Structure 1
Amino acid sequence: MYKSLRVLIGFAILCLAHATQAQNIGNTPYSRYGLGEYNSNLGNIRNAGMAGVGVSAGNSYQANTANPALLYYNSITVFDIGVAGQVKNIKSNTGKQTDGNANLYNLTLAVPVSKRWSSAVGLRPYSVVNYDARSSSGLDSNPRATIQQQYSGEGGLSEVYFGHGVKIADGLTIGGSASYIFGAITKESASVVQDDSLSGIGTEKVVYNERIRYDSFLFRAGANYRKKITENYYLSAGAVYGFGTDMDAERKASYERRTISDNIIDDNILPDSSQSNVTIPSSLRAGLTLDNGKNLTIGADFYTQKWSEFRSFSGESELGDSYRVAFAAEYTPNANSIDNFFERVTYRAGLYYGDTPYISKGETITDKGITAGFTMPLGRSTIYDLYQLNAAFGYGQRGTTDNNLIAENYFQFSVGFTVNSRWFIKRRID
């Protein structure tokens, strides 16, 4: 077991080194706003298969990072790693394109400290920026001339977290987590004048380039209460509050002269280096779950964040308040089945709908979709070790082509492994 675990941890370190450098998810035009496209799932691939539901859905064999109060239920060591990707079709009234990519999704190690206390450390993306948008418009003073505008950005923020869950009384657990948010976002904007009546026009462009590096600590507090309501069913209620924070931001910006093919002619024109703060608003997640303590879980989550209180590097408020509702279920036909492997598989499904923080041309961008997933056991389980393969899939729609906006149809997928292991046990040979 320890040899396999060392291999997984070594692979995770390689993923960690890569993830801190790149988190691309394909061209995402709406990641131009704020800090990019935010990660709405604080859990793992299990939660991804349940449309992000997990604030009150504790699980003994999956790391409960969606709510730190649920970490108490991880009574044995859990190592979890996953990768995710998506294929996205982007379209507007003037054209369409398809993009796709994949990267690290989550990396978690949860360890029980005592019978009433468990902890977890891990890594997950906080936001992703990756867009390339172009537009053109005419000049009223010169019908033969056009202005081509180009906008691009890449980068994102990562989150390293440290969480704890403690049992206070029968059914009542509380928890908290501290996260370090860090990363850099690079953005460029350029304008090119094209006029076929003038020679030499349109062979060069001036590009504004800025790179902002962010870092800060983010704290969350959670609670969960689980009570038996009938002979066979339990009801759980959980909540997680994310405290607002001011991130330190350092910007380096300059202008560049480039050819149309992006070869640099002259760089570092009018350089600027400055510091500021970026305000991340507080958030609230709440959920209800009904389970039979064996093989069936049904849950619903609600999430909201006052992104209207967000302040960019220059102090601007360019986002709106967001919310998201999700419903999901998971079911294992027979975890102890010997003859039928598929009866030991846990199946999941969910759906979600909500308003994103993005506002374009006065219209709030909505997001909706459905998900599915499963967890299957790998190899032969023992009282010391349990290996699992996790997978999740989702299809969603965001935005609209009305009012010259952009619509995104996306297919998401994720896969990972979970290792459950009992540590610190003295094995005796009689």
Structure 2
Amino acid sequence: MIKKIIVSLCFVFSVSALAQQSSSSPYSFFGIGEIKFKGTVENRSMGSLSVIPDSIHVNLQNPASYSNLRLTNYAIGGSYTTNTLKTTTQKENTQRTTIDYLSIAIPTKKVGLGIGLIPYSSVGYNLSSISNTEAHEYKGTGGINKAYLAASYKLSDNFSVGAEMQYNFGQIETRSIYSVYGVQYSTREINTSNATGMNIVTGVFYQRKLNNKVQLFSSATFTPEATLKLKNSRSIATIQVGSTGGESLIDSATDVTVPDTKMKLPTKYSFGIGVGELKKWAIGAEVTLVDNANFSNRFADISSTYKNGNKINFGGYYIPKYNAYSNFFKKVVYRGGLRFENTGLVINNQTVNDKAVTAGIGLPVRGSFSNVNIGFEYGSRGTVSSNLIKENYFTVSFALSFNDKWFTKRKYD
């Protein structure tokens, strides 16, 4: 029964991931949009921490973790986010609901395999610039998705290595309307980019006992620079904008030839270390370095540049009593964490930072190793300085993690 449910969810997710608009951030105007968190609700609830080992939850951030799983795992996660956007003079609220990941992980004795689909970036903005003589309106939709295949091998009881191949694909559409006051018609420009590309992620995972209860664990990942190919098209038309915002085409749209381009996805390194009694508690810290220096916008935009970015996160969990069969709440996993990120995006000489506090709970499903995970994240991005926009966001995440035993030899037919 559970396999039928997963197949159905795979189909729904595959369709939804291609169509959903999972960003309402004005900062998704730049580059390939808002870069999405590549991880589970469990990781996100601990400040996006990925260094803590787990035998029943998949870790999407480090491919070396798959061989640490004890059971085949199916996971699907989604989130609901409210955004408050502020300038020095204005304030707006937005909401969005998204599907964040679908994954299947299959462990054997020493090898772990994983396959899944994750949104990588999302574009979703609606902006306007108005002066005494003219007006510009900007709207963007779409994003980039990742389909991945991962493999991990346990070299010893303490050390695992892994690699993940990722196929990137998606479409980004940006639309701008230019109007001059007193002129009846406006000019509309639509730019479309269809993106494809491949990249790889490698990882290592190490853990050892410090005493009979407490373990030390560490991890590292490396994502080399990759190329994203963009097949671009542009259409320009004369339109008339109605009082309610509707558009009427005055003459046939003109297709303008624009060159196809390539973008460099940045090199990324991560290092983490932690300590804990894994069936009781664990804490850890992680640093991620991103080489954004060669990153650029799809089309030239002199108002923004990129520099190297970084992320620092702390987190952990606590379980009152994992084997308390008569007390449900003692088996609940309580998670929390902090995250600070320098995105590397620089606008009007102002660096865009993103910081958040996170929390979450894991609710066990009775009679199985499956569970329901709920996460909460409150954070802010950007600033009102230098004519920018500050975002305050609150996200509620929800995930189902199913576990099953595969490759078990039958004793009886």
| TM class, shorter-length | over 0.9
Spell out the pairing of 1:117-196 with structure 2 (5 A cutoff). 117-138=111-132, 146-195=133-182
Alpha-carbon distance in 1 for matches of 2:316, 2:366? 26
SS in 2 for 1:227: strand
SS in 1 for 2:250: strand
Using the TM superposition, give the Cα deviation of residue 429 of structure 1 relative to its aligned residue in structure 2, in angstroms. Answer: 4.7
Alpha-carbon distance in 2 for matches of 1:245, 1:404? 33
TM-score using structure 1 length: 0.91
Spell out the pairing of 1:342-421 with structure 2 (5 A cutoff). 342-381=329-368, 386-421=369-404
Using the TM superposition, give the Cα deviation of residue 276 of structure 1 relative to its aligned residue in structure 2, in angstroms. Answer: 1.9
Alpha-carbon distance in 2 for matches of 1:270, 1:70? 48
Alpha-carbon distance in 1 for matches of 2:364, 2:63? 25
SS in 2 for 1:16: helix
- Please state if 1:217 is matched with 2:198: yes
What is residue 59 of structure 2 aligned with on the other side? 64
Alpha-carbon distance in 2 for matches of 1:42, 1:297? 21
* 2:134/2:180 contact within 8 Å kept: yes
Alpha-carbon distance in 1 for matches of 2:409, 2:270? 41
Spell out the pairing of 1:274-353 with structure 2 (5 A cutoff). 274-314=259-299, 318-353=305-340
Alpha-carbon distance in 2 for matches of 1:351, 1:115? 35
SS in 2 for 1:338: coil
Using the TM superposition, give the Cα deviation of residue 390 of structure 1 relative to its aligned residue in structure 2, in angstroms. Answer: 1.0
**Match for 1:94 among 89, 92, 100?**
89
* Identity fraction in percent: 27
Structure 2: which amino acid aligns with 1:93? Answer: T
- Structure 1's 267 and 126: CA in aligned 2 closer, same or farther, altered over 3 A? farther
What is residue 45 of structure 2 aligned with on the other side? 49
SS in 2 for 1:258: strand
- Structure 1's 257 and 315: CA in aligned 2 closer, same or farther, altered over 3 A? closer
* 1:30/1:358 contact within 8 Å kept: no
Using the TM superposition, give the Cα deviation of residue 315 of structure 1 relative to its aligned residue in structure 2, in angstroms. Answer: 7.3
Alpha-carbon distance in 2 for matches of 1:257, 1:325? 48
Please give the per-residue CA displacement for 1:242-291, whole angstroms capped at 9, x wherever unaligned: 01111111001021111113222234324225322111121111111112
* 1:250/1:273 contact within 8 Å kept: no
* 2:30/2:297 contact within 8 Å kept: no
What is residue 208 of structure 1 aligned with on the other side? 189
Comparing 325-334 with 267-276, greater Cα deviation is found at: 267-276
* 1:151/1:189 contact within 8 Å kept: yes
SS in 2 for 1:374: strand
Alpha-carbon distance in 2 for matches of 1:164, 1:311? 31
Q: Which runs of 5+ in 2 are unaligned?
A: none
What is residue 104 of structure 2 aligned with on the other side? 109
Alpha-carbon distance in 2 for matches of 1:150, 1:361? 20
* 2:129/2:136 contact within 8 Å kept: yes
Structure 1: which amino acid aligns with 2:65? Answer: L
- Please state if 1:32 is matched with 2:32: no
* 2:74/2:401 contact within 8 Å kept: yes
SS in 2 for 1:104: strand
What is residue 13 of structure 1 aligned with on the other side? 11
Alpha-carbon distance in 2 for matches of 1:315, 1:90? 25
SS in 2 for 1:309: coil
* 1:32/1:153 contact within 8 Å kept: yes
SS in 1 for 2:293: helix
Q: Which runs of 5+ in 1 are unaligned?
A: 139-145, 196-200
* 2:66/2:112 contact within 8 Å kept: yes
Q: How many residues align?
A: 407
SS in 2 for 1:284: strand
Alpha-carbon distance in 2 for matches of 1:270, 1:173? 52
Structure 2: which amino acid aligns with 1:221? Answer: T
* 2:238/2:253 contact within 8 Å kept: no
- Structure 1's 152 and 267: CA in aligned 2 closer, same or farther, altered over 3 A? farther
SS in 2 for 1:342: helix
Alpha-carbon distance in 1 for matches of 2:17, 2:157? 40
Alpha-carbon distance in 2 for matches of 1:232, 1:425? 30
**What do you get for the CA RMSD once the two structures are aligned?**
1.7
- Please state if 1:258 is matched with 2:239: yes
Alpha-carbon distance in 2 for matches of 1:272, 1:350? 49
Spell out the pairing of 1:74-89 with structure 2 (5 A cutoff). 74-89=69-84
Alpha-carbon distance in 2 for matches of 1:172, 1:429? 36
Using the TM superposition, give the Cα deviation of residue 362 of structure 1 relative to its aligned residue in structure 2, in angstroms. Answer: 0.8
